[in-house]
Amino acid sequence: MVTKAVFSDPFSAPGRWFRGNLHAHTTNSDGVLSAKQMAFLYERSGYDFLAITDHGRLTDVRELSNSGFLAIPGEEISVGASEVGTAFHLLAVGIEEEVPAKEGDAGEDPQRVIGLAKDRGGEVILGHPYWSALSARDMLSLEGYLGIEVYNTSCFFSIAKGHSLSHWDELLARGRRPLGFATDDAHWHFNDHRPNDACGAWISVKAPELSLDAIMKSVREGLFYASNGPEIRDVKINGDEIQVETSSVSAISFVASLDLGERFAAVEGGAIASASYRLRGGERYVRIECTDSEGRSAWSNPIFFER
Ligand SMILES: [Zn+2]
Ligand SMILES: [Zn+2]
């Protein structure tokens, strides 16, 4: 039935797991902590890498890496105008020099900025589509971005618009293949009814070593999954069956194109740690999403089925 499953599979890829956040602000834009404090905080919290992505400027991260921690240069550039007039927030990571575009310029073409970031060795992630009120047409108007933020801690904690999962499925349903990133967008913002936006979400990347080249190569190839809590431990494709193992969660979902897919939930407060799904035949893609009792989730990148 299925001719070919196309999956950037981090679970069987060689190497080890490295956990990191690709979106953080410092005192060089609207963050509260210095780049050095931010790097120290993430390293102390068990992260292996962190991208500093200040608004409209490249923060120098060269002094922030050590043998066990990698700082990635980056920038968040807000330009252009969506259908409802909001800016596209383009997260440029792994860039070698500052992107020559004016922050906040509604007349700037976001497609040009994506090109400029890639010319500088970087990759572009479309930031927080739900928070930005981006339509499918807005997202489809651009090409060349590696993926979208399917979860953004700061957007969730501030205005409950952190999850951009239907945005992801919209793009996937239309034949695009964006990768799914979970990031913090950390500013060290919090108050008495809002948790701190640092160290909440991450991607787990499979790579041979902790270096800028190795992490960026694996990110580019999609060898990671995203999370703000649970772990995805294995995904196996055997013929027309997908088998998943996770940490203890309350539901595991196989989210697929159209009305296909299936959700497996632990009933009456129980927990599950594995599930399997048999393809029905019409799936263009299937992605795995698991959620724990606290409402935290992990998201695999999509598996595509070509017939
Ligand atoms: Zn933003
Ligand atoms: Zn941001």
Give the pLDDT confidence of 16-54 residue by residue, as tens digits. 999 999 999 999 999 999 999 999 999 999 999 999 999
- Mean pLDDT, rounded, for 150-168: 98
pLDDT at 16: 98
Pairing of strands 88-93, 285-291: unpaired
Q: Ligand 1 centroid vs 125 CA: distance in angstroms?
A: 11
- Please indicate, yes or no, whether residues 158 and 40 belong to a single structural domain of this protein: yes
pLDDT at 307: 81
Domain membership of residue 5 (yes or no) is no
**What amino acid occupies position 35?**
A
163: containing domain? 13-226
Q: Ligand 2 centroid vs 211 CA: distance in angstroms?
A: 24
Q: Ligand 1 centroid vs 89 CA: distance in angstroms?
A: 5
pLDDT at 1: 56
Q: Residue 148: which pLDDT band, with cuts at 50, 70 and 90?
A: very high
Whether the per-residue pLDDT at 8 is higher than 80: the answer is yes
Domain membership of residue 1 (yes or no) is no
- Please indicate, yes or no, whether residues 31 and 169 belong to a single structural domain of this protein: yes
Percentage of the chain lying above the pLDDT 90 cut:
97
- Please indicate, yes or no, whether residues 210 and 264 belong to a single structural domain of this protein: no
Q: Residue 19 burial by CB count (10 A; 0-12/13-18/19+): exposed, middle or buried?
A: middle
Domain membership of residue 159 (yes or no) is yes
pLDDT at 195: 96
Ligand closest to the CA atom of residue 30 = 2
pLDDT tens sequence across 279-289: 999 999 999 99
Ligand closest to the CA atom of residue 185 = 2
Domain membership of residue 278 (yes or no) is yes
- Please indicate, yes or no, whether residues 252 and 285 belong to a single structural domain of this protein: yes
Q: Ligand 2 centroid vs 24 CA: distance in angstroms?
A: 6
DSSP 3-state of 290: strand
pLDDT tens sequence across 184-199: 999 999 999 999 999 9
- Please indicate, yes or no, whether residues 135 and 208 belong to a single structural domain of this protein: yes
Q: Residue 268 burial by CB count (10 A; 0-12/13-18/19+): exposed, middle or buried?
A: exposed
User: Which residues face 149 on adjacent strands?
Assistant: 181
Ligand closest to the CA atom of residue 134 = 1
- Please indicate, yes or no, whether residues 145 and 37 belong to a single structural domain of this protein: yes
Domain membership of residue 54 (yes or no) is yes
Beta strand residue intervals within 153-260, DSSP E: 179-183, 202-207, 224-227, 232-238, 241-249, 251-256
The DSSP code for 7 is -
Domain membership of residue 183 (yes or no) is yes
Domain membership of residue 126 (yes or no) is yes
Domain membership of residue 7 (yes or no) is no
- Please indicate, yes or no, whether residues 220 and 242 belong to a single structural domain of this protein: no
pLDDT at 12: 97
The DSSP code for 18 is E
Whether the per-residue pLDDT at 2 is higher than 70: the answer is no
Percentage of the chain lying above the pLDDT 70 cut:
99
- Please indicate, yes or no, whether residues 126 and 218 belong to a single structural domain of this protein: yes
pLDDT tens sequence across 204-243: 999 999 999 999 999 999 999 999 999 999 999 999 999 9
- Mean pLDDT, rounded, for 145-151: 98
- Please indicate, yes or no, whether residues 174 and 239 belong to a single structural domain of this protein: no
- Please indicate, yes or no, whether residues 46 and 191 belong to a single structural domain of this protein: yes
Ligand closest to the CA atom of residue 130 = 1
For the chain, how many structural domains are there in total?
Answer: 2
Q: Residue 127: which pLDDT band, with cuts at 50, 70 and 90?
A: very high
The residues, any chain, with a CB within 8 Å of residue 160's CB and separated by 6 or more, are none
pLDDT tens sequence across 243-252: 999 999 999 9
Q: Ligand 1 centroid vs 127 CA: distance in angstroms?
A: 6
Ligand closest to the CA atom of residue 21 = 2
- Mean pLDDT, rounded, for 134-148: 98
> d(Cα 117, Cα 95) in Å, to the nearest integer?
6
Where among 202, 226, 250 does a domain terminate?
226
> d(Cα 108, Cα 90) in Å, to the nearest integer?
12
Residues, CB-to-ion distance under 5 Å, ligand 1:
89, 127
Q: CATH number of the domain that 51 lies in?
A: 3.20.20.140
The residues, any chain, with a CB within 8 Å of residue 59's CB and separated by 6 or more, are 26, 28, 35, 52, 73
- Please indicate, yes or no, whether residues 188 and 282 belong to a single structural domain of this protein: no
Nearest to 215 by CA among 74, 80, 60, 18: 18
Q: Ligand 1 centroid vs 180 CA: distance in angstroms?
A: 16
The DSSP code for 67 is T
